[in-house]
Structure 1
Amino acid sequence: MLRLSDPGRRLNAGLVVMAFVLSLLAGRLVQLQGLDSKVLQAKAADRREQSEKLPARRGSITDIAGHELAVTVEAREIYLDPKVVEPAKRDLVATTLATELNRSKEEIAAKLAKTTSRYAVVARDVDPLHAKKIMSFGFRGVGAKRTYYREYPGGRLAGGIVGFVGVDGYGLAGMESAFNKVLAGRDGEQSFETGGEGQRIPMTRSTRQEPVPGRDVRLTIDRDIQWAAQEAIAEQVKASRARSGSVIVIDVPTGRIVAMANAPEVDLTHWQDSPPGDRRNRAVSEVFEPGSTNKVITAAAAIESGTVRSDTVFRVPDSIQCADRRLKDAHPHPPESLTFAGIIAESSNVGTIMAAERISSQRLYDMFRAFGFGARSGVGLPGEEAGLLPGWQGWSGSQRCTIAYGQGISVTALQIASVYQTIANGGVRVTPTIVAGTTDGHGRFVPAPAPKRTRVISERTAREISLMLEAAVGHDGTGTEAAIPGYRVAGKTGTAMRYDQECGGYCGYTATFVGFTPADKPRLMALAVIQDPKKGHYGGTVAAPVFRNVMTFALKTRKIPPTGTKTPDVVLRAHR
């Protein structure tokens, strides 16, 4: 007979097992709700909490009158959360967004297929009203985030100066790069709690740190004169079939840059489409041998030494032996008696060498340095080069001669412009400036510190050279094409052989004209440089007309009248 076990024992065993399981559950419950509750709450909150960057509005870049050259515009970024987009509506979402945003439907569909992603950007820089229309469709998983984008109202206007920003809003070139910290401001941040499908949970904890807007930067350039300079240099580069060109206009007493133009000039709205070489500011980054525009420095060194005056007479042949080289003037001529003023006015290489022989190499070198050669100008523009000025101890016999008339050294357009600003300013060099000031945190304008002023040559020497330069623009000079009716103009042509890395030697020419007006009371100076022109190559015929056109426009814009005085007679030739 089968004997069954005691039911009481079975019941007791079951109760023991149940009590053990319940004790485990109770212990776990105590651990979760008691011992580990704060840790688990924090983890849950961390999973729910989302943070979002609040972009700061970037400051504007303006010209001297406050006209905007770079401005920040509010926009929207359209994005997807593929995980919460309803599968049945993915095709409709892709079709709608592709139509509204002018995007490929396949591209958007590929983003929607990545359901592990919670954030996929569809389009940036969308107009807020257009974004509002897109959000009105009510698609789950489609969002719009407030952003900003950079707009350049002038397109190419002052492109090399202003520069541009990248997709992340960081300055990549020009003043956008140099003043990025000032312009960018400081981004803010906000955090909030979201549910499983990304929806914001109301009445939960949230924090918000407001963004700090960027400050504005005001430049010294005049928008109208800048435009005229760009038009003039672009037209001449095209007409002469040149490789490139630059124009600089400076206010003589203050050293402020009124215009700085390049051709080709980068279009800031589509800067990615421009070749890398066209995105830089050639006026400060491109170095070249200055040629005859450099002769005023040799003249200053000779006059300051007391060995030469403007009326000192030289018997000038058309060639001269310098060490192992025979150096020539631009055109053959019989020996002629020229005053030093005539040598500068007629741009004689041989005569300049003869004057330089009266001073030491060190004195000439020191004068180059005093005028700013071999060093950056101090303007603070990105990409500026210092040029090349070899130490005088290493000059060869022929190099000492060629340096005197501007071959064998390299400079930037701004360095040459600064030399003539110094002469026009009575021998006082004012460090070139291009930033008039910035705004503070309250939007108030704060002027930039006054630039450094350095006396380079005496006022008497500057006046003497200025008269020589007036003669250079006169009937017997090389710069007649730079003359402006009614105004006294002082200036100098330059035609130098151009070193080209592509051909591995001297290929082509650099044509230059630089001058100032009114010559007896200088207000503005301007420089035009044309690189590698194919149709004509002399500074007097290629660059001087650009100077004349730009300076004429600038004089009218600034309402600078003629002084009404006449140019004194300057003796260029001695009759023997």
Structure 2
Amino acid sequence: MTPRTPPQPPSRGRDPRRSAASSGRVPSGRPVGKRQPPPKRASAARGTSAAKGAPSPRVAASSKAQSTGRQAGPRKPRNTAPARRPAARRGPARPPKPPGNPRRRMRGLTVATLFVFSIFAAQLLRIQGFDSSAVAAEALEQRTEKVQIPALRGKILSSDGVVLASSRARETVVADPTAVCTYQQKDKKACSPATSAAAVDLAATALSPLLGRSVDDLRSKLGGAGRYQVLDRKVSPLTWRKIAKLGIPGIYKDSAEAVPERVYPQGPNSASLVGFVTNDGAAGGGLESMMDEALKGTPGHSIFEKAPNGSKIPGGRQGGVAAVDGGDVTLTVNSNIQWYAQNAIAQQMAKMGGQSGTAVVMNARTSEILALASYPTYDPNDIGRAKGSLVNKALNDVFEPGSTAKVMTVAAALEDKRVTPDQPVVIPNRMKRFDVSFKDSHDHPTLHRTVAGALAESSNIGTILIGETLEPKRLEEYYRKFGLGSKSGMGFPGESAGLLAPSEKWSGTQRSTVMFGQGLSVTAIQAASVFQTIANGGMRMTPSLIQGTKDAHGTLTKAPRKPGTRVISEATATQVNAMLEGAVSREGTAPQAQIPGYRVAGKTGTADFYDPSLGRYSGMTASFIGYAPADDPEIVVAVIIQRPNASIYGGTVSGPVFHDVMTYALQELKIPPTGTTKAPIQISVTPQEAASDPDTLRDRPRSRGK
């Protein structure tokens, strides 16, 4: 065993690691190829550094001394304790993170900045290059204001040129209470609770005489909540200019709300015929609705660029489309006749009482409407307070015609050669059909009349005997040819077609009642059209209200005329005409309808009135329909009064109105008397003549159901 050499101080002249390597020896206890950490301190008890371990850091310094020839003496070690073996390491130590490279960070920041700027550049290229037109258009649209320009409705004129309806421009004045409260105050930007009330009072006092409203009413509006208070919708342009001169903050006109005002110079006289327009400019009935497409025109608009504060930009985009006003409509109605008829029916209603009344004046040859009066009426200039009926009763209301329908029954029997005007008719006081006993308007002994006499005296029983010469189906065909059961063809809004059931659905008693005008319903225009057919030689013409239209450029278009329909022959019409003259004679039911100097033909009517609101019959319908001159008819007048109180008979209630309206119409249209005298007609026969004539119409026993 080799004796242990005491430790020697390391040599200053050489590196123990190199010495060991050069001699081929490896320090004991250290594996080859593995780097070991150097000990913290050199141990004095150990041998040479080359033999037992790595030298102290001071070895390098001592080696320098050796190289200079100095002899390093022995040094006392600072710590004589045995050197501690280094702790075992769990793994290789992580190398320390090298400090960042400034150039690398600069390059990254530059790339990121260039990327962001490239996005901005691409977006700018898209906006100004590819999408420049679209973006510019969108921006222009955002700062462009578009204001609607309403079109004025066309005029409605009578045939003699009188304006029945027209339009005029009106402005809607609006207040912003949050701005009005600064009126004539020191602080013009905001409201002050101490001065707002005074400002509102000053503004209300200034606006009151211009708007025609009380100060208290305006004060509640100007000091109200919100920022939009409508003060008036019907301010004239002149009045608006006066309001604008006051300089009241927050008072402006709302062009979007501007609606032209509709004016009706004739007021209630033609209201139910002309109709009305609502506050928003929509047609509300009558001719306003019927001719709306021709009257309403085409609205326009104005466009301009506006600044953020709403003001117009000078030199900016401006333009628009001009509004095209509606066309004018000329009626067949004569304004003077319309005025007279409306007042005549109103006066008679006040005298006789009643629920409603109508008066129709018609051209006998063309069926053009000369007047269409309806009572009660209303004022279309103040539609909000209308209390009367808003419909035209001559076209909308239906009623049982009563004896005026007997004209059709007699005309049908004459046309089919079933009877002749002077054929005898035996009329008992009562006549039973099925389970009903029929009678005339008054009790009487058995009468001996002719067919003409039965019509002139308006006998129900005589008419039944005449009508029974025809089959029910044939009678229905004539009624429909006269216009019953269908609309007149004028196109008037709300017009009724009347009520006429098919003959196969008529009950046993209805087969008799329809012959004298009960069990069916008509409108006043339908009833007048029956007499127009007789007056026109048996040719029925479609009633018309429109003479023509004139567009905004002044082009006149005449209304088309429909061809007439032959109902009965001219010979039959002449025979019926003579019978109707007898009804107006002293022997007839309406001597009140006679007009001195003129030959008049007509027929009275009295029927039970069915009240739909009650669901039962209540009151009577009194009517008179006729025409003149009877030998050369020009004018047809129909007067119908519902539920009169003073009397129930058509001759007494409606006959005087017919007389007055017909007289005025003849004078207005300058129709002279013909100067001819009517041919005498035979009204009655003797009992012997009736008994000896085999064609005499009389009541014969009938089995039930026939």
TM-score normalised by the shorter chain: which range applies? over 0.9
Larger displacement relative to structure 2 (233-242 or 19-28): 19-28
Check whether the contact 1:84–1:197 (CA below 8 A) recurs between aligned residues. Answer: no
1:290 pairs with 396, 401, 404, which one? 401
**Which residue is 2:307 aligned to?**
195
One-letter amino acid of the structure 1 residue matched with residue 564 of structure 2: R
One-letter amino acid of the structure 2 residue matched with residue 255 of structure 1: S
One-letter amino acid of the structure 2 residue matched with residue 359 of structure 1: L
Residues 1:235 and 1:15: Cα distance change in structure 2 (over 3 Å):
farther
1:126 pairs with 229, 235, 248, which one? 235
Query: For residues 422 and 260 of structure 2, what CA distance do their matches in structure 1 show?
Result: 64
- 1:99 offset after TM fit, Å? 5.5
Q: Per-residue CA shift, 1:87-120, capped at 9, x if unaligned?
A: 3487355664455322623443356x534x6xx5
Check whether the contact 2:484–2:498 (CA below 8 A) recurs between aligned residues. Answer: yes
**Which residue is 1:87 aligned to?**
190
Q: Per-residue CA shift, 1:309-331, capped at 9, x if unaligned?
A: 11010111022111111111111
Q: Give the structure with the higher percent strand.
A: 1
- 1:22 offset after TM fit, Å? 7.3
- Is residue 479 of structure 1 aligned with residue 590 of structure 2? yes
One-letter amino acid of the structure 2 residue matched with residue 137 of structure 1: L
Q: Per-residue CA shift, 1:387-437, capped at 9, x if unaligned?
A: 000100011111010000000000000000000000000000110001000
Q: Per-residue CA shift, 1:172-218, capped at 9, x if unaligned?
A: 10110111111011001122221122111122223311111100000
Mapping for residues 171-190 of structure 1, pairs under 5 Å:
171-190=283-302
Q: Per-residue CA shift, 1:261-293, capped at 9, x if unaligned?
A: 011122111122223x61100000000000000
Query: For residues 444 and 81 of structure 1, what CA distance do their matches in structure 2 show?
Result: 45
Larger displacement relative to structure 2 (203-212 or 466-475): 203-212
**Which residue is 1:460 aligned to?**
571
1:35 pairs with 126, 147, 172, which one? 126
Check whether the contact 1:98–1:108 (CA below 8 A) recurs between aligned residues. Answer: no
- 1:241 offset after TM fit, Å? 1.0
Check whether the contact 1:94–1:108 (CA below 8 A) recurs between aligned residues. Answer: no
Query: For residues 278 and 450 of structure 1, what CA distance do their matches in structure 2 show?
Result: 31
Query: For residues 355 and 305 of structure 1, what CA distance do their matches in structure 2 show?
Result: 12
One-letter amino acid of the structure 2 residue matched with residue 191 of structure 1: I
Query: For residues 382 and 160 of structure 1, what CA distance do their matches in structure 2 show?
Result: 11
Mapping for residues 130-209 of structure 1, pairs under 5 Å:
130-144=239-253, 145=255, 147-209=259-321
Query: For residues 136 and 25 of structure 1, what CA distance do their matches in structure 2 show?
Result: 57
- Is residue 215 of structure 1 aligned with residue 324 of structure 2? no
One-letter amino acid of the structure 2 residue matched with residue 226 of structure 1: Q
- 1:508 offset after TM fit, Å? 0.3
Mapping for residues 377-456 of structure 1, pairs under 5 Å:
377-456=488-567
Mapping for residues 326-365 of structure 1, pairs under 5 Å:
326-365=437-476
- 1:157 offset after TM fit, Å? 2.0
One-letter amino acid of the structure 2 residue matched with residue 511 of structure 1: A
**Which residue is 2:164 aligned to?**
69
- Is residue 237 of structure 1 aligned with residue 383 of structure 2? no
Q: Which runs of 5+ in 2 are unaligned?
A: 1-99, 181-188, 689-706
- 1:57 offset after TM fit, Å? 1.6
- Is residue 109 of structure 1 aligned with residue 219 of structure 2? no
Query: For residues 606 and 540 of structure 2, what CA distance do their matches in structure 1 show?
Result: 25
Query: For residues 178 and 550 of structure 2, what CA distance do their matches in structure 1 show?
Result: 45
Residues 1:14 and 1:172: Cα distance change in structure 2 (over 3 Å):
farther
One-letter amino acid of the structure 1 residue matched with residue 625 of structure 2: V
Query: For residues 443 and 259 of structure 2, what CA distance do their matches in structure 1 show?
Result: 67
Check whether the contact 2:283–2:292 (CA below 8 A) recurs between aligned residues. Answer: yes
Q: Aligned with 1:236: secondary structure?
A: helix
**Which residue is 1:247 aligned to?**
359
Query: For residues 153 and 122 of structure 2, what CA distance do their matches in structure 1 show?
Result: 51
One-letter amino acid of the structure 1 residue matched with residue 265 of structure 2: P
**Which residue is 1:78 aligned to?**
173
Equivalent pairs: percent with the same residue? 40
**Which residue is 2:47 aligned to?**
none
Check whether the contact 2:177–2:222 (CA below 8 A) recurs between aligned residues. Answer: no
- 1:448 offset after TM fit, Å? 0.8
**Which residue is 2:140 aligned to?**
45
Residues 1:18 and 1:82: Cα distance change in structure 2 (over 3 Å):
farther
- State the TM-score, normalizing by the size of structure 1: 0.92
Q: Which runs of 5+ in 1 are unaligned?
A: 1-8
Check whether the contact 2:177–2:223 (CA below 8 A) recurs between aligned residues. Answer: no
Residues 1:15 and 1:155: Cα distance change in structure 2 (over 3 Å):
farther
One-letter amino acid of the structure 2 residue matched with residue 427 of structure 1: G
Query: For residues 150 and 470 of structure 2, what CA distance do their matches in structure 1 show?
Result: 62
- State the TM-score, normalizing by the size of structure 2: 0.76
Q: Per-residue CA shift, 1:330-356, capped at 9, x if unaligned?
A: 111111110011000000000000111
Check whether the contact 2:452–2:682 (CA below 8 A) recurs between aligned residues. Answer: yes
Q: Aligned with 1:534: secondary structure?
A: coil
Residues 1:201 and 1:31: Cα distance change in structure 2 (over 3 Å):
farther
Query: For residues 598 and 171 of structure 2, what CA distance do their matches in structure 1 show?
Result: 54
**Which residue is 2:411 aligned to?**
300
Query: For residues 136 and 630 of structure 2, what CA distance do their matches in structure 1 show?
Result: 81
Q: Aligned with 1:380: secondary structure?
A: coil
Equivalenced residues, count: 563
Residues 1:370 and 1:262: Cα distance change in structure 2 (over 3 Å):
same
RMSD: 2.5
**Which residue is 2:21 aligned to?**
none
Check whether the contact 2:154–2:325 (CA below 8 A) recurs between aligned residues. Answer: yes
Check whether the contact 1:248–1:283 (CA below 8 A) recurs between aligned residues. Answer: yes
- 1:21 offset after TM fit, Å? 9.9
Bigger Rg, which one: 2
Larger displacement relative to structure 2 (409-418 or 499-508): 499-508
Residues 1:403 and 1:95: Cα distance change in structure 2 (over 3 Å):
same
